[in-house]
Amino acid sequence: MRELTAKDVTFVVYYEAGDIPVRGNVLASGDDAIDKAAEDEILARLDNGDATAWCVLWVTADWEGYLGRTSLGCCSFGPNDNMRDLEAFAYEDDMYADALADLNAVIARHKAKL
């Protein structure tokens, strides 16, 4: 069995609301005032409906109905970021490669059961 490559699969990048509390998880600058200001900004954006202010970024790799995936939590993207920006971030953070590796592992597990 050959391993799938990025050319074989369809990648999807999406985000969903983060469930880790904002307070205490945004920065660790060593300056409490700076940390609180960053947290306050994110909380204000969330209150205004900006879901990318504090979210989980997901990448899935799909091949013939088999899915591989990876995620990164505690993400805060700028208010002007769009999906292309999130896709570029995921690529630079190797999330595409991680989702593809997960997909190959899922398929290998299924093959081993046959």
Each domain of the chain, given as residue ranges in start order, spans 6-113
The helix or strand, by DSSP H or E, that contains position 89, with its residue range, turns out to be helix 83-92
| SS3 (DSSP) at 58 | strand
Q: What share of the chain is helix, strand, coil (3-state, %, to 5)?
A: 45, 25, 30
Per-residue pLDDT of the chain (114 residues; tens, 9 = 90+): 789 999 999 999 999 999 999 999 999 999 999 999 999 999 999 999 999 999 999 999 999 999 999 999 999 999 889 999 999 999 999 999 999 999 999 999 999 998
Q: According to the model, what pLDDT value does residue 114 have?
A: 86
